[in-house]
Every structure is written in structure tokens, then in C-alpha cells.
């Protein structure tokens, strides 16, 4: 049974006085004591990425967590991601360093509002992007990621309407890719991606005319039309391995990540304003506090958890289950969706 450590400092402020090296050393020691795994989303601060056992998008991270024998999962991301880890690993303690790290896009959809919309469209299937709360997943027929959204939507009989929750840009993208005319989009969006504008893209291209332009599908349609590749964060990581110069249309943390991995290459953010403040709420000091004090634990009502798990499992059945991406998968993913994952998916 995990317990707070005797060497825990009394306050977060006390952790904030420690150096980056002292915090990292403390986290790594404590992680071993706890039998914990630290999952870092690609949009996390570099210093958190450095102490993470796995880096990636939220679903892949949750699956990594479910696959390990670790007793404790520390999720450095936003709240819906820690919930997803708990959905898939109900027997493990799931911690997040800052409970206030939420996702405004996920918060566009609530269980109450979704139940109301379902009542208005009783024949519709509900397809829900994994960037959503456990309660909304529990109200859904099937989940999707941006990488498999087209496949999931195509698995629903053509004549059946689909309520697509909560990202309107991804809904637009899926509509365009599938040619369906019966998708009812939820009016939500990720402000980080939705705020990227054409002028920023044109300015970046003017300076780097030969750069490959890669954009996340949570961006607006007029930007996606001008992308060389529409792809997920994992697709972007793969492209960064293959190309020397990229203009990257997603959150800045991903740009930091690939720059850290390939310091001699040139990665230009489509927008230097694309920063998710919620993702950046997690700090190394908060992470050290979290593992020392076992805070903050994420719990779920079992009825909601099991229904949400069913929606996730249906998605995995449709898309052939999850497995660690390999090179060929990454390439086909990039081609297939012109693909995606929310960096945050």
C-alpha cells in the first residue's frame, strides 16, 4: 500500500526552493520506492518530459500504464487523461500533480447536455473523442481518437445519424473525409489549435518556404487545407525524424520535444502563441510534491468508469486494438487521417 514518504517537505513552497536537479533526483528516488510510472504528455514542460518514463499522447500513455505492473500511475497531463488512465487501470492509484489542470475542450461537453441532445436525436449514435470527461464517455456509444475517428465513424451504419462530441474541427474533418451528411457536431473546440490563423502560417512559410507544413486536425479547416500533412502528435514526431525542417501546427510542447530529440534540425512553430496553459500548470515542484504526498488521487464512480471503459473498448475493437506504434504504423497513420491524435488525445 503506497504511503506518503517521511522525507516529504511540508509545503509546495518548500519544493519550489529546490533546484531542478534536486527535484529530479527526488522524483526518481521516490518513483522507485512507490513502484510508480510517470507518464508525460508531449505538451508537458521539458523538465517534466525529462523525468517521464513514457512520453506520448494520452491514450497511448494510458495503455502503457495499463500494460505495466506499476502500482501507481502519475499522469502529467490534464484531468481527462488521468481519468482515462483510471478507466483502463481501475486497480491502480492514479495521481496528477495539479487537479486544476483541466481541458477547456473536454469541458464543452457535459453529461446533462449530452443526454438532452441524445433525447432530441434518439436514433443517433454518439461518437466521442477521447478528449472528454469520463461522464461523457459513459454516455457515448463509442470513443475515437483523431487517428481512428474516420474508421470509427465509418463503422456506424451510413444511414444512422452521429452526434460527434466535442470537437467541431475534428467533426468537420471527419465529415470531409467520410462524405457523410448526417454528422451532428458538438460546438466545442480546443482554443490552442482553433486560435492558429492563416496569417501565422503564411508568415512562417515566407521565412521557411521549403519546410514541410504539418498541422494537427483540431485546427480550423482553412489551415488544414494548406497543410502538407494533417497528422497527430505521434505522426509529427515521426515526421521530425524523417525531415530536417518542419513548420509544426500544434502546441509548443511538441515543438520543444522534437527539438530536444533532434537539436540540429529546424522546427518552426506555426504559432508561438499555441501554448496550453492547463498543460503547463504541472511543474517539477508539483510533481515532486505529488509523489511524496500521494496527491492528488483521481477516483471515479464505478458505474461511470465501467460504462466509459465499454466506449473505449468498442473503439479498440473497431480499430484493431491498441499497440505500441511502429514505424510503418506511424507512416500509415499519417496517410490515413491525413491523420491525427490530439496531441492531447
Verify binding: residue 279, ligand SF4, rule CB under 6 A.
yes
Nearest residue to 43 (alpha-carbon basis) of 61, 26, 30, 56 = 56
- Name which of 253 and 325 has its Cβ closer to ligand SF4: 253
Q: Which stretch binds ligand SF4 (CB under 6 A): 203-211, 276-284, 290-298, 320-328?
A: 276-284
Coil, strand or helix at 164? strand
Exactly one of 73, 156, 162, 192 binds ligand SF4 (CB under 6 A); that residue is 192
Exactly one of 141, 251, 330, 341 binds ligand SF4 (CB under 6 A); that residue is 251
Say if CB 186 and CB 241 are below 8 A apart: no
Exactly one of 63, 140, 278, 340 binds ligand SF4 (CB under 6 A); that residue is 278
| Long-range interactions of 140-145: CB distance < 8 A, separation 24+ | 140/114, 140/165, 140/311, 141/311, 141/314, 142/311, 142/314, 142/315, 142/318, 143/311, 143/312, 143/314, 143/315, 144/315, 145/57, 145/59, 145/232, 145/315, 145/340, 145/341, 145/342, 145/345
Say if CB 111 and CB 84 are below 8 A apart: no
Quickly tell me which residue has 511540508 as its cell. Answer: 10
Verify binding: residue 255, ligand SF4, rule CB under 6 A.
no
Phi then psi dihedrals of residue 40, to 5 deg: -115, 120
Exactly one of 90, 104, 111, 161 binds ligand SF4 (CB under 6 A); that residue is 104
In terms of DSSP H, where are the helices of 157-276?
168-178, 191-194, 198-207, 221-224, 233-242, 252-261
Question: What is the rounded CA–CA span in Å between residue 48 and residue 179?
Answer: 41
Residue 253 CB, shortest distance to ligand SF4, in Å, is 9
C-alpha cell at 160: 444512422
Verify binding: residue 276, ligand SF4, rule CB under 6 A.
yes
- Name which of 127 and 294 has its Cβ closer to ligand SF4: 127
Quickly tell me which residue has 473503439 as its cell. Answer: 315
- Name which of 42 and 63 has its Cβ closer to ligand SF4: 42
Question: What is the rounded CA–CA span in Å between residue 5 and residue 36?
Answer: 13
Residue 305 CB, shortest distance to ligand SF4, in Å, is 21
Question: What is the rounded CA–CA span in Å between residue 218 and residue 266?
Answer: 23
- Name which of 20 and 191 has its Cβ closer to ligand SF4: 191
Verify binding: residue 190, ligand SF4, rule CB under 6 A.
yes
- Name which of 96 and 105 has its Cβ closer to ligand SF4: 105
Exactly one of 44, 89, 128, 131 binds ligand SF4 (CB under 6 A); that residue is 131
Verify binding: residue 342, ligand SF4, rule CB under 6 A.
yes
Verify binding: residue 103, ligand SF4, rule CB under 6 A.
yes
- Residues in contact with ligand SF4, total (CB under 6 A)? 13
- Name which of 279 and 304 has its Cβ closer to ligand SF4: 279
Residue 134 CB, shortest distance to ligand SF4, in Å, is 15
Quickly tell me which residue has 487537479 as its cell. Answer: 99
Verify binding: residue 105, ligand SF4, rule CB under 6 A.
yes
Per-residue x/- mask for ligand SF4, residues 200 to 239, rule CB under 6 A? ----------------------------------------
CA distances from 81 to 31, 234, 284, 344 (A): 20, 16, 19, 8
Residue 194 CB, shortest distance to ligand SF4, in Å, is 9
Exactly one of 59, 65, 78, 246 binds ligand SF4 (CB under 6 A); that residue is 78
Strand order in the sheet with 125-129: 142-144, 125-129, 162-165, 183-185
Residue 278 CB, shortest distance to ligand SF4, in Å, is 5
- Name which of 192 and 224 has its Cβ closer to ligand SF4: 192
Question: What is the rounded CA–CA span in Å between residue 258 and residue 265?
Answer: 9
Residues forming the site for ligand SF4 (CB under 6 A): 78, 103-105, 131, 190, 192, 251, 276, 278-279, 342, 344
Amino acid at each position: 500500500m503506497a504511503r506518503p514518504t517521511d522525507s516529504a517537505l511540508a509545503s509546495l513552497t518548500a519544493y519550489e526552493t529546490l533546484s531542478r536537479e534536486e527535484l529530479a533526483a527526488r522524483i526518481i528516488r521516490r518513483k522507485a520506492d512507490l513502484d510508480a510510472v510517470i507518464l508525460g504528455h508531449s505538451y508537458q514542460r521539458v523538465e517534466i518530459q525529462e523525468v517521464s518514463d513514457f512520453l506520448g499522447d494520452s491514450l497511448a500513455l494510458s495503455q502503457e500504464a495499463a500494460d505495466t505492473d506499476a502500482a501507481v500511475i502519475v499522469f502529467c497531463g490534464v484531468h481527462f487523461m488521468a481519468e482515462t488512465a483510471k478507466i483502463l487501470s481501475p486497480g491502480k492509484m492514479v495521481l496528477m500533480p495539479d487537479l486544476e489542470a483541466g481541458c477547456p475542450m473536454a469541458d464543452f461537453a457535459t453529461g446533462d447536455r449530452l443526454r438532452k441532445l441524445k433525447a432530441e436525436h434518439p436514433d443517433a449514435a454518439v461518437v466521442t473523442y477521447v478528449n472528454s470527461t469520463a461522464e461523457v464517455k459513459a454516455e457515448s456509444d463509442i470513443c475515437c481518437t483523431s487517428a481512428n475517428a474516420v474508421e470509427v465513424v465509418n463503422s456506424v451504419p451510413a444511414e444512422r445519424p452521429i452526434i460527434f462530441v466535442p470537437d467541431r474541427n475534428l467533426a468537420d474533418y471527419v465529415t470531409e473525409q467520410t462524405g457523410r451528411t448526417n454528422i451532428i457536431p458538438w460546438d466545442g473546440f480546443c482554443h490552442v489549435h482553433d486560435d492558429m490563423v492563416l496569417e501565422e502560417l503564411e508568415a512562417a512559410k515566407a521565412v521557411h518556404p521549403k519546410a514541410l507544413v504539418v498541422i494537427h486536425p483540431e485546427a480550423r479547416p482553412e489551415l488544414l487545407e494548406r497543410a502538407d500533412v494533417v497528422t497527430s502528435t505521434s505522426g509529427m514526431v515521426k515526421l521530425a525524424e524523417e525531415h530536417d525542417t518542419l513548420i509544426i501546427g500544434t502546441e509548443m510542447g511538441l515543438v520543444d520535444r522534437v527539438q530536444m530529440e533532434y537539436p540540429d534540425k529546424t522546427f518552426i512553430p506555426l504559432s508561438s502563441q499555441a501554448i496550453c496553459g492547463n498543460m503547463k500548470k504541472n511543474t517539477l515542484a508539483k510533481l515532486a510534491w505529488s509523489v511524496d504526498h500521494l496527491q492528488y488521487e483521481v477516483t471515479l464512480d464505478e458505474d461511470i468508469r465501467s460504462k466509459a471503459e465499454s466506449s473505449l473498448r468498442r473503439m479498440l475493437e473497431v480499430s484493431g486494438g491498441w499497440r505500441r506504434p511502429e514505424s510503418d504504423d506511424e507512416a500509415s497513420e499519417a496517410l490515413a487521417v491525413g491523420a491525427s491524435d490530439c496531441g492531447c488525445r
